[in-house]
Structures are given as structure tokens and as C-alpha cells.
Structure 1
Amino acid sequence: MAPITTSSEEPSRRRIININAETVTNIPSTDFPGHWPGESHEWSRERFQNAFQVEFHKSEALDASFSLIGLDASIANAFRRILIAEVPTLAIEFVYILNNTSVIQDEVLASRLGLIPLKGSIDGLNWMRWFKKPTDEDPEGSEPSDFNTVVLKLSVECTVNEDAAPDEDDPRKRYHNAHIYARDMVFIPSGRQQSFFTNGNEIAPVNPDILIAKLRPGQVIDLEMHCIKGIGADHAKFSPVATATYRLLPEIRILRPIIGQDAKKFAKCFPKGVIGLETITSDEAAQRGSGYEGHAGEQKAVVVDPFKDTVSRECLRHDEFKDKVKLGRVRDHFIFNVESTGQFPSDTLFLESVKVLKLKCARLKRNLADLMQ
């Protein structure tokens, strides 16, 4: 039997998910052994190393955007889920209220405090260990210690400002401590925490201007907060990200020339910067069969930056563009957008998710070895 050969364009075609006017086709991945006759798609570490790429598009303190190229959707989604639910962070878990005469109930106040994102030394956070809560198997749990518990205190009382003008209406000027903010929480280091959380790396709220409560003269809030490590799968307050999403890279193929007023209309069907207009040169107009014959000097539509496209399919609604454009998405090009809550820099969060996945793989490998014995 003669060997089966494929065209050079076939691998590229398989990478594209087709976006049609009302349907989406070519969705399943087919690059696995046995699907295509005469082709071997066995996983190879060397092939993966040569094909896999990471490209950073934006790297700010709290916001990062990067592309993972050459991955399967299951792996990309695993990173997304780990970012949301399995990267450990520090958050307020126990609130011991000594006195609360504000209008906010104790349990509501404790919930508000728990949702305040915290920051501190990354080395110190990695040094800290897990705090084990009491369970039926272990009724005592862990004892609070310097390596598993961080203590914060909040002790404020609202009083009248004697220096305020008699007709002052702003309570923040008329009273002292009328508004209680996250910056009023005080970090109380203990033991070895003093060597980790120092020199500007103390445990503190990411945003000091988060409003906690409003008080009036005579009202008091006096409490102590214990912070422990946890993961987002237990509670959303432990999630290190505000958002962690990905999308597939859009692909726009202009199959037939779009010229003149149609080119301008075509550009308006996409977000700004996706489609550009270029002047048709005399050489292009002289090429027989190019579709530009007799249009020298006119403008044509060209794809400038598909990265900015939202794949709205607006261009597919117009009859003049029928059979002239093909929309799709590249199935193995994942554009990640990660917004950190502040405990970790946004560009290191992906590395933290890789560490977690490596630990999960090592655990699985160890358990498989135990089964084989």
C-alpha cells in the first residue's frame, strides 16, 4: 500500500477552529496517535520543547498578559484553574472581637475583614506553614505559632474633634476616626516573623484605602485578627487572582480582495487596529489574476493585528463580504490575562501555578509507583 501523504497546508488547517456565521466547526483536537493514517502523533518531550513558546504582552504589578503557544487546551485550563483555586495565599481567617459598638454586626465585620487582600514578603509567605483546623480526627488542630499564624490588630474609637468648625458637615473633619480604613490594621510580628516581614515587607493590606466601617462619637472597634495560609478552593478570599482567563488567538484570512469603500466598511466591522488600509501599487494591479487589476491607487483591506480582535462576526453579516473572509481561532495559542490581588506580582503567578502542577504530578507519580509494588 502506498504511503499516505498530506499537503503542507494540512497541519495549519487542523490548528484552526472555524468561526462561521452561525456555527463553530473543527472544534476537537485530532493530534493524537491513530487518528490520521500514516501519521505519528505520539507525545515527544523533544517535540514539545521545540514547539512550546511563552510570549509576554504586558507585565505590570497587578496585571499581566502573556501567550502560551503549543499547549493542549486541557493543560492551559489546568493552569487557569490552579491560578484561581490552588496557589496558597495569606488571608484573615479568625477574628476575635473584644469590643464592637459600631452599627455593623460582629459576623458581618469579620466577613468584611476576611475579604481584604494582604501583601508581605514573598520569602516570608513561602516560609510559613499550613495551619490545621480542628477536625473529627484531630480535635485539637494546630497551635498558633509564628510559622503558621500572622496577627493583626484593629483598635479605634471615634471621638469629637474639638478643633473642627462649628458648622462643619464632613464627619471625617468633625470627628476623629469617623471612617475606619484598612490602613488602620496593625501588624504584630512574633518570633521569626521579625526577620522575614521587615524593611517595607511587613504584612499589610494591598489597598490601604479600603473602607471597613463608619463610626460616630462613643463607638469603638477593638479586635484581633489571625491570618493563615489557604487556597481558593476553600474560600475565595484565598484566591491570589481577581481574574484569570484565557482566549484563543483570532485568525482573519482575506480570501479575495476587498477594495475601496468596501475596505473601509470592512475595517469598521473590527476593533480599531485589527484591519488596516493600504494603497494598491501598480505592480499589484499589473499581476494577472490578483483581483487588483485596474485598481491601482485605490485602497485595499489588510490584516494588521488579529490579536486585538474579539471575533464578533460582524463582517459575516454583510453580503458584500461573503466568501471574501474566513474567521477562526488558533487552537493551541492561548492568550492569558491574569489580574493579581496584590499578594504576588502578576508575572510570577504563572510560575507559582507551574510549581503547584509539578507537585501534583510528582504526587501522582509516587502514588502510581506505590500501586505497582
Structure 2
Amino acid sequence: MVLVKVIEKSNLYLKAVVDGVTPPVINSLRRVLISDVPVLAIDEVIILDNTSVLYDEVLAHRLSMMPIKTDLRKLPKIEECEQELVDPSLCQVRFELNVEAKEPMIVYSRDLKSDDPEVRPVYEDIPIVKLVPGQKIVLEAYAKLGRARNHAKWQAGLASYYYYPKVSVVGKADDKCRVCLEVCNGALEIKEDGSIIINDVLKCTFNKWKTCEQLCPALKVDWDENKYVFWVESFGNMPVEDMVREGFRILKGKFQEFVNELELELSRGPAPSGELVAGETTEESTQVTGEEFNTEEGPTEE
């Protein structure tokens, strides 16, 4: 049985204790959240006029790295966009930038005008370029739905985990143990008689607890291989709840795809004797001799 307890949550951050899963499963979720959850990012820029100090390529790169608000409920599934099962125009949003400086100014992300008012840069005060009087920029940009496995601009956020620390008190504290009060602030306290009281193990990470164990012989730190502290942080493209929900949907789809492929392979039955199946090679087929490449043996040492 899997148990999940949320210990900290905001619109962009989630921290939870996950109990009852193996490392491959929790790591699969981490990888999906980082590389597979789709967001909108500017992928194509048509520059009509650019007299600023930035080259067109640099300007396009700056635009592409700005996080953009993404509501996945109003967009097709990323699989449908990748497999071209829907109209490509449904998987993108058009932006326009048209500014001309009358006096020295800074062009900000808020100056980008979107065809969809709800699709806009996450932060309005991201500086793009400085302009002096007479300089101008006129361009069109298209934000497309994509995944971070293809480019970092499509990364929705970060995710990581560490083992849930199990801390035991096995003796009295000495002077070195007081360093742990700074390393793990609020996680433990030391009484005048040297006794140690663990207040909250989650106020200190597993690695910091291990540091305290090396400094303080009175502490013994262990871990549970099937219990973790898991955290997710959104870059602002979407609420962290939506990010996690989409991550689970994609991970479930990957598992289902694996099961389908496995069942298909099993339905074919074993390969006939003497025939190769996909991915197999024989020793004879992979062996390469020196004569085939006209190589000469070099000097050897005895």
C-alpha cells in the first residue's frame, strides 16, 4: 500500500512524504515531471524589423526562454500534437511584438501581445532588450506545446527526492554535537545534561543528518529504502497540482504502452529455432578481423 502525506504546499511548490514505493518508481515520476510534462514556449520567431543591438538569433533565444502561462485543460494532449492527430494551430499561440523607442527604454515581456489573453509570460518584468531613440523591433512569435526532453525551454519545473531519515539517539551529546544545532536548525535540541531530543526529522535533509552523524557520535542515522521526501517546484507555467496531475497521466500512459508492447510480443510466441529475433546478433556476425580494415599490428612489449 502506498501512503502519501503532504507536508508543505503552495501554488508553485509541493513537498510530501511518500511511503511504500521502490526507488525505480519514484525516480520514474521525478524524470517525467522534469522532462515530459508539456508547456508552451516560443519556438518560432518571424522578425520583420530589428534595429536593436541584439542579433536576430539572440533576440529569438531570449524570447524562447521566457516561461509562458499554460493551461493544459484548454490544449490538446501533447501526444496528439506530436503525432499530428489534431490541427497544429491548436497546439500553438501567436504573439506579436511591435515597439519603437521615442526615448531610451527597456522592452519587457509584458510588451508581447498574445492572441489569447490567458496565454502570456509568467512574469511581466522580464527585460528583453534596451532601445535608444529610433530603434525598433517588429516580430511575430509562435509559442508551441513541447517537452523538455527536446529543449530546456519546455521544462515545467523541478522535482527531486531523498530518503526519509531515521534518526536514533544512542548516547549523550558532547561539544561537537552542538554544531548540529546550526546544521539542522530546529530539528533537534540538546539539554544541559547532554540528552538529545529530536523535534522534527523533516526539518533537516537526509544528507545533513548524515553530516551530523559524523560530527556527533550520539546520533545514529539510517534510512528507509521505500520511504522518501519528494518535492516538486513549478516554474510558474502552471500550478504545481496541474504539473503533478499531468505527470501521473503521462507516467500511466508509459506503463500502459509497455504492457501493450509486452503482450504483443508474447502473443507472437517464441522465434523459430535458428532464427534471430530483433536486437539479437551472433558472434560471427559481429566479429571483425584486422584484414577487413587492412590494419597492421603495432609493436608489442615482452
Equivalent residues of 1:149, 1:228 under 8 A apart = yes
Q: CA deviation at 1:224?
A: 0.3
* 2:154 matched residue in structure 1: 238
* 1:82 partnered with 2:9: no
* 2:197 matched residue in structure 1: 302
Equivalent residues of 2:41, 2:67 under 8 A apart = yes
Equivalent residues of 1:263, 1:299 under 8 A apart = no
2:75 alignment partner, SS class: helix
CA distance in structure 1 between the partners assigned to 2:259 and 2:77 by the alignment: 26
2:160 alignment partner, SS class: strand
- 1:1-373 matches, within 5 Å, as 49=1, 52-126=2-76, 129-130=80-81, 144-145=88-89, 147-160=90-103, 175=104, 178-189=105-116, 202-241=118-157, 243-256=158-171, 258=172, 265=178, 267-268=180-181, 270-277=183-190, 298=193, 300-310=195-205, 311-312=207-208, 313-317=210-214, 321-322=216-217, 324-371=218-265, 372-373=267-268
CA distance in structure 1 between the partners assigned to 2:57 and 2:178 by the alignment: 57
Q: Tell me which amino acid in the other structure corresponds to 1:159.
A: K
User: Which region of structure 1 is more displaced relative to structure 2, 116-125 or 349-358?
Assistant: 116-125
Cα RMSD (Å) of the superposition? 2.6
* 1:42 matched residue in structure 2: none
Post-superposition CA distance 1:127-148 (Å, at most 9, x none): 6751679xxxxxxx99752x12
Q: CA deviation at 1:61?
A: 1.4
* 1:6 matched residue in structure 2: none
Number of positions where the alignment pairs a residue of Structure 1 with one of Structure 2 = 264
CA distance in structure 2 between the partners assigned to 1:314 and 1:363 by the alignment: 43
Q: TM-score, normalized by length of structure 1?
A: 0.65
CA distance in structure 2 between the partners assigned to 1:368 and 1:109 by the alignment: 47
Unaligned residue ranges in structure 1 (runs of 5+)? 1-48, 134-140, 161-174, 190-197, 280-297
CA distance in structure 2 between the partners assigned to 1:361 and 1:143 by the alignment: 27
Q: CA deviation at 1:94?
A: 0.5
Q: CA deviation at 1:269?
A: 6.2
Of Structure 1 and Structure 2, which has the larger fraction of its residues in helix? 2
Equivalent residues of 2:178, 2:190 under 8 A apart = no
CA distance 1:315–1:358, change in 2 (3 Å): closer
CA distance 1:143–1:221, change in 2 (3 Å): farther
CA distance 1:337–1:183, change in 2 (3 Å): same
User: Which region of structure 1 is more displaced relative to structure 2, 99-108 or 350-359?
Assistant: 350-359
Q: CA deviation at 1:307?
A: 1.1
1:330 alignment partner, SS class: strand
* 2:283 matched residue in structure 1: none
Q: CA deviation at 1:187?
A: 0.8
Equivalent residues of 1:263, 1:277 under 8 A apart = no
CA distance in structure 1 between the partners assigned to 2:189 and 2:44 by the alignment: 57
Q: Tell me which amino acid in the other structure corresponds to 2:54.
A: I
1:56 alignment partner, SS class: strand
Post-superposition CA distance 1:207-241 (Å, at most 9, x none): 11111111011111100011111111000111110
CA distance 1:361–1:269, change in 2 (3 Å): same
CA distance in structure 2 between the partners assigned to 1:303 and 1:112 by the alignment: 48
Post-superposition CA distance 1:45-100 (Å, at most 9, x none): xxxx3xx1111121111222112111100011101110111111111110000000
2:96 alignment partner, SS class: strand
CA distance in structure 1 between the partners assigned to 2:44 and 2:83 by the alignment: 13
Equivalent residues of 1:71, 1:332 under 8 A apart = yes
* 2:292 matched residue in structure 1: none
Equivalent residues of 1:264, 1:301 under 8 A apart = no
Q: TM-score, normalized by length of structure 2?
A: 0.79
CA distance 1:143–1:327, change in 2 (3 Å): closer
CA distance 1:365–1:142, change in 2 (3 Å): closer
Post-superposition CA distance 1:124-168 (Å, at most 9, x none): 1346751679xxxxxxx99752x12210111100013xxxxxxxx
